[in-house]
Amino acid sequence: MDSLFTPYLVGGIFSALVVACSFSFLRRPSLGHIPVVGYSSLLASYWFGKGLEVDHDRFVQEGYDKYKSGVFKVANLTHWIVCLRRNHVEFVARAPEDLLSAGQAAENLLKIDYTFGLKISDDYHVSLVQSTLTRNLSVLYGGLRDEIVAACNEYFNAKHDEWKSISVVRVTLQIASRASNRIFVGLPLCRDPDWLDLNINIPHAIVEETRILRFFPSFMLPIAAKFFTNLSGRTSRGVALLGPVIKERLQHMEAEGTNWSDKPNDFLQWCLDTKQDTSLTSLTRRMILINFGGIHTTSGVFSQALLNLAANPRHAQTLRDEVEIVVSKHGWTREALSKMRKVDSFLKETLRFGGISLLGPLRQAMSDISLSDGAFIPRGTLLAFPAYAIHHDGAMYENPDVFEPFRFVDMQHGESEGSGHQMVTLSPGLLTFGLGKHACPGRFFAATVLKTMLAHVVLSYDVRRGSDESVPSTLRVGDAVVTNPLAKVMIRERVN
Ligand code: HEM
């Protein structure tokens, strides 16, 4: 029975894929008038997918150098991405959602409905990140720092009398996940290895799943998602871990109303207070989505910062001097962080020098658009800035290919907190946190976590390069800039 059934099943899936691909390719907006760099057709980019992953940075840089005053397009397996120029930044930052949509672009690439089980319009958590999380950062700071110190102790596990080699990606992911989850779900779940493991590994699964889902037209997605995603598996694993915490809190809310002694002050509770999620499933999925947005981004930047520190140990003392002076005056507080200009600049330079993506931020044209320089962008087109190339443009930065950790300090001179050249400030020259209304709402939290981690590391540890100096610090995987999983640093506890 099975052996009879199998060829039909395989044949069915294969036919579905062929139909899906045909529909997908026919649906694409017509972009023949826009010059191409790299693979000249989506199909070619698909067949040479490995080459695309490896060479994307070369293609984008080539387009950036060649089309100085116009747009160009690069293939991205299933979509063309039209790369804009720096002088389009203002337009994109101000464009309303019904002209250029960040949400639709994210949906197009991530298929959030099917990979996370949440509607793209159901995004109340974005305003919680933007307002409630940012507003609570000072109050929550003590717990956040405690978690960072405890996580560094556990995962670095360094001794003062011997250098220890650590795998940068693995360790920074654990530390950033713990720190973030202390604020997302609180103790003790933020230390639960299963919860951390689930959230650390989900992005990899989502990338694999969306690679396939993106070939299907929307009417086929509900069926395709059943075969090609593991949404139900990760949801049930998440509910098993988070469900008991949610249930306990709901019991408190029922018995004691909106306030009770020891009421948790964390992201999970803020979500519960809004009463917008009506099931364990949807709230769990939302917490998984928040982790997805927050963990790999923050740990990616932290891992690059650690490698930059290891490659330039002489800068550690400069940072240490600043942290010691500031902390002796202001203690470990958010106010102290705002005075750590060198720490801030070091991290901002890390965002510029490596960052998280070659392209970004992404938008989808919701109607036909004529750009100021006359380029016609048909409805449905995906647009992005060649962020990495802009960050390494000599017209924007002196010595753009040199890591100069304190290049932003002079620019910050005389500024008050929150203005000008600090890492959270959005600017046309640094697109790592995006642009305009949709710019990353979590950047104030991310900056708080990153500055605390770096300040703690320079005070408590010596860091130097590992034995693998020839290993590149970062790799390009498609559009993403990721820290090399093989990268290692040597670490030793400092004796004060
Ligand atoms: C270094 C760390 C981070 C980087 C580099 C980063 C980067 C970004 C970028 C580039 C965007 C898209 C912006 C745009 O389209 O203009 C974004 C959006 C977003 N980020 Fe972050 N992010 C980081 C950390 C976080 C954290 C910690 C959180 C949550 C606590 C978070 C939550 C979000 C959310 C919810 C959005 C969607 C905003 C919207 O749709 O309006 N991010 N982030």
pLDDT tens digits, residue range 366-388? 999 999 888 999 999 999 999 99
C-alpha 312 to ligand 1 mean position (Å): 28
164 close to 490: Cβ distance less than 8 angstroms? yes
Question: CB neighbours of 132 closer than 8 A, spacing ≥ 6?
Answer: 270
440 is in an annotated binding site: yes
C-alpha 152 to ligand 1 mean position (Å): 24
Which of 296, 299, 440, 449 to mutate for ligand 1's pocket (most ligand atoms within 8 Å of CB)? 440
Helix-strand-coil percent breakdown of the chain, rounded to 5? 60, 10, 30
CB atoms inside a 10 Å sphere around CB 275? 8
C-alpha 354 to ligand 1 mean position (Å): 17
Report the pLDDT value the prediction gives residue 2, as an integer from 0 to 100. 45
Residue type, 40: S
**Is 432 near ligand 1, meaning CB less than 6 Å away?**
yes
Report the pLDDT value the prediction gives residue 76, as an integer from 0 to 100. 82
Q: Cα dist. 40→310, 397, 410 in Å?
A: 41, 32, 44
Closest C-alpha among 33, 26, 37 to residue 371: 33
CA atoms in the 13 A half-sphere facing the CB of 12? 8
Report the pLDDT value the prediction gives residue 419, as an integer from 0 to 100. 54
Question: CB neighbours of 346 closer than 8 A, spacing ≥ 6?
Answer: 305, 308, 309, 315, 319, 405, 406, 454
- If phi > 0 it is left, if psi is from -120 to 50 it is alpha, else beta; for residue 400 that is alpha
**Two tokens, residue 438:** 């949709």
Cα 81 to the center of its chain, rounded Å: 19
d(CA 171, CA 187): 20
**Is 441 near ligand 1, meaning CB less than 6 Å away?**
yes
Report phi then psi at 168, rounded to 5: -60, -45
**Is 433 near ligand 1, meaning CB less than 6 Å away?**
yes
- Cβ-count burial of 2 within 10 angstroms (0-12 exposed, 13-18 middle, 19+ buried)? exposed
Query: What stretches in the chain show pLDDT beneath 70?
Result: 1-28, 40-55, 412-419, 467-468
**Is 466 near ligand 1, meaning CB less than 6 Å away?**
no
- Cβ-count burial of 268 within 10 angstroms (0-12 exposed, 13-18 middle, 19+ buried)? buried
Pairing of strands 382-384, 79-83: parallel
d(CA 148, CA 254): 33
**Two tokens, residue 266:** 């964390």
Report the pLDDT value the prediction gives residue 75, as an integer from 0 to 100. 86
Q: From the CA of 295, give the closest atom in ligand 1.
A: 27
CB atoms inside a 10 Å sphere around CB 139? 10
Give the helix/strand (H/E) hosting 73. strand 72-76
472 close to 484: Cβ distance less than 8 angstroms? yes
Nearest protein CA to atom 22 of ligand 1, as residue: 440
3-state SS assignment for residue 435: coil
**Is 144 near ligand 1, meaning CB less than 6 Å away?**
no
Which of 297, 359, 449, 479 to mutate for ligand 1's pocket (most ligand atoms within 8 Å of CB)? 297
188 cis-preceded (ω within 30 degrees of 0): yes
**Is 435 near ligand 1, meaning CB less than 6 Å away?**
yes
d(CA 236, CA 241): 9
C-alpha 203 to ligand 1 mean position (Å): 14
CB atoms inside a 10 Å sphere around CB 36? 16
Q: From the CA of 445, give the closest atom in ligand 1.
A: 27
Q: Cα dist. 17→135, 215, 220, 438 in Å?
A: 47, 8, 10, 34
C-alpha 41 to ligand 1 mean position (Å): 31
**Is 439 near ligand 1, meaning CB less than 6 Å away?**
yes
**Is 301 near ligand 1, meaning CB less than 6 Å away?**
yes
d(CA 307, CA 391): 19
**Is 216 near ligand 1, meaning CB less than 6 Å away?**
no
CB atoms inside a 10 Å sphere around CB 221? 18
Nearest protein CA to atom 30 of ligand 1, as residue: 442
C-alpha 294 to ligand 1 mean position (Å): 7
**Is 295 near ligand 1, meaning CB less than 6 Å away?**
no
346 close to 422: Cβ distance less than 8 angstroms? no
Q: From the CA of 300, give the closest atom in ligand 1.
A: 1
Report the pLDDT value the prediction gives residue 304, as an integer from 0 to 100. 97
Question: CB neighbours of 445 closer than 8 A, spacing ≥ 6?
Answer: 129, 133, 134, 137, 180, 183, 294
